[in-house]
Amino acid sequence: MSYDAVIIGGGHNGLVCAYYLARAGLKVRICEAQGVVGGAAVTEEFAPGFRNSVASYTVSLLQPKVIADMALEARGLRVVLRPLANFLPLSPQPGDYLKMGGGLERSQAEVAKFSARDAAALPAYFEALEQVADVLRALALRIPPDAGAQGVGGLKAMIDAALQSRVLASLDLPGRREALKLFTRSAREYLDEWFESAPIKAVFGFDAVVGNYASPDTPGSAYVLLHHVFGEANGVKGAWGHAIGGMGAITQAMASACRDAGVEIGLSQPVEHVLVERGSATGVRLIGGETIRAKRVIANVGPALLYRRLIDRAALPSDFARAMDGFKTGSGSLRMNLALSELPRFACHTEPGEHHSAGIIMAPSLDYMDAAFADARIYGWSREPVVEMLIPSTVDDSLAPPGQHVASLFCQQFAPQLPDGGDWDEAEPRAVEAVLATLERFAPGVRATIIGQQVLTPKSLERRFGLVDGDIFHGRMSLEQLWAARPVLGNGSYRGPLKGLWMCGAGTHPGGGVTGAPGHNCAAAVLKAGRRL
């Protein structure tokens, strides 16, 4: 049987792309390597009675249009907002912490504990960031111009570029200056212009190292900060939420929409090879030997996996292959899930409260984050890593037995490749020890409450989800790998370098996170192309 499109990978972007294509009347098949649909956005029981999101773990960037078009809420998706945005414990001293969220006035009062000047600067900072974030929101569901198009296609690309530049032109001059800084400067340089106190810089600077194997001093890290704030949840810009039932609730609702639209979803069907005949992608071969023919092959896997492992280099244009040699991967991330007998008690704030439902950031300064990166470059992981803890069971009692809890730990600055040829499977216990020691410093006694745990090192993330070098974004979010240059300039409009080959994953515009935007945009590009495969 032949299909109009076969999609490699049933992660959320693959599901979104499949839905829009099937809704338009195309015959679509998804080949998902795992036994459950969803890719990295899945929920599973990791200890008896304890369930949690396995990799992706929080909601903000999912496009409202995708939620509405796929009727995800009608299919059971429910997102609840965090009652408090962030909690930053600073030291063991009682009261030495920073809470952010709950409204501007409340955040200003918290910041004023450290700096009256910084508290006064907050409204202008939020306004400046929001102005640029609105540009990202406007561009998120647009197809970047095809920088490699020739002839009539090149003319259309020029028109597309001109139209999209009007979005950027909507910024006033101060806004354009701010955008330029955010796209090129380090997070520290950017934040130093706004604030003077270390805790405020830390709570904002944390977003600059999430999924970014870099220091807050690395040029371009300010953009990663911006990428994490341009989303929304339940109609609230910049808000973060939790999907009841975990992230798998999102992808299960998407799968339901796909099946209703006629999409065939194949599970436990890992793709071994993309079939290329006379310069065109004509289907895929599964590891089990089955061949699936299709007019279009759409890859929801990352560019590094697609072009370095699933397609013979000789089948690729030589200039494209060379460009892909320089494609950068490796987000420096380690994920853990903990089953806890009780809530952790932080030394600076011992009683239970709303801070347990916030994003709990264990990285009290930009210097701490910089040292963590320096450590990882030398030793392979930081001896004092950057750790964010979420405890979703505080707002979702379906995840743990009564009175007990699950915690998501997102840990940063773990080298994609260990120095001296080290192996992550062998090093895992020592890296986990560094994480738990960090947690224990901020929340003494928490180790004794751990009933079970799940660990995903960079190697584990690659092995389980196909994330090359454990890169949660499918590729570095740096200026030369954004917009029309994601994954490389000339192939940033979701088209691969071969006829019939397309890309719909986070390695395309607008990048990582559970957004649905790449899947939405790729489907739009495919449908716009029509018979021009």
Q: Give the tens place of pLDDT for each residue, 16-29.
A: 999 999 999 999 99
Strands 50-53 and 43-47: antiparallel
Yes or no: say if 310 and 286 are a contact pair by the CB < 8 Å rule: no
Which of 223-227, 350-354, 393-397, 457-461 is the least confident region? 223-227
Tell whether the model's pLDDT for residue 153 goes beyond 70: no
Q: Which of 502, 507, 503 is nearest to 473 (CA)?
A: 507
| pLDDT above 70 for 157 | no
CA-wise closest residue to 264 among 34, 32, 464, 68? 32
Identify the pLDDT of residue 176: 85
Kind plus residue range of the DSSP H or E element containing 305: helix 303-305
Q: What share of the chain is helix, strand, coil (3-state, %, to 5)?
A: 40, 20, 40
Closest CA to 389 of 340, 330, 462, 319: 340
Q: Summarize the confidence of residues 471-493 as an average pLDDT.
A: 93
First to last CA, the chain: 19
- The region of weakest confidence among 54-68, 254-268, 429-443, 445-459 is 54-68
Q: What average pLDDT does range 355-373 have in this prediction?
A: 97
CB 387 within 8 A of CB 362: yes
**Mean pLDDT value of segment 352-372:** 96
For 185-233, write each residue's pLDDT tens digit: 999 999 999 999 999 999 999 999 999 999 999 999 998 888 777 776 7
Task: Quote the pLDDT of residue 282.
Answer: 98
Q: Would you say 479 and 223 are in contact if contact means Cβ atoms under 8 Å apart?
A: yes
Determine the average pLDDT of the residues in 500-529: 96
Q: Are 434 and 382 in contact, with CB atoms under 8 Å apart? A: yes
Average of pLDDT values for 71-79? 97
| DSSP symbols for 417-453 | S-GGG--HHHHHHHHHHHHHHHHHHHSTTGGGGEEEE
pLDDT at 479: 86
According to the model, what pLDDT value does residue 134 have? Answer: 87
pLDDT higher than 60, residue 163: no
pLDDT of residue 283: 97
**Residue (of 78, 102, 406) closest to 233 by Cα position:** 78
Residue 368 contacts residue 386 (beta carbons within 8 Å): yes
Cβ(81)–Cβ(239) below 8 Å: yes
**Residue-averaged pLDDT of the chain:** 93
Q: What is the dihedral of CA 208, 474, 388, 210, to 10 degrees?
A: 0
Residues found in the chain: 533
Mean pLDDT of 109-132: 94
Q: What is the pLDDT of residue 148?
A: 58
Q: What is the pLDDT of residue 533?
A: 81
pLDDT tens-digit series, residues 414-439: 999 999 889 999 999 999 999 999 99
Confidence of residue 149 (pLDDT cuts 50, 70, 90): low
Report pLDDT for 151.
45
| Per-residue model confidence (pLDDT) at position 227 | 79
Number of neighbouring beta carbons within 10 Å of residue 54: 26
pLDDT score, position 389: 98
- Looking at residue 159, its pLDDT comes to 41
For residue 353, what is the enclosing H or E element?
none
Instruction: Give the confidence band of 509 by pLDDT, cuts at 50, 70, 90.
Output: very high
- CB burial of residue 528 (10 Å; 0-12, 13-18, 19+): exposed
Which pair of structure tokens corresponds to residue 5? 């499109």
How crowded is residue 102: how many other Cβ atoms within 10 Å of its Cβ?
Answer: 16
Q: How far apart are CA 524 and CA 342, in angstroms?
A: 47
Q: Set out the domains of the chain in order of their start, with CATH numbers.
A: 2-41+62-78+245-327+476-529 (3.50.50.60), 83-94+330-470 (3.90.660), 115-239 (no CATH)
Q: Is the pLDDT of residue 155 over 60?
A: no
Predicted local distance difference test score (pLDDT) of residue 238: 73
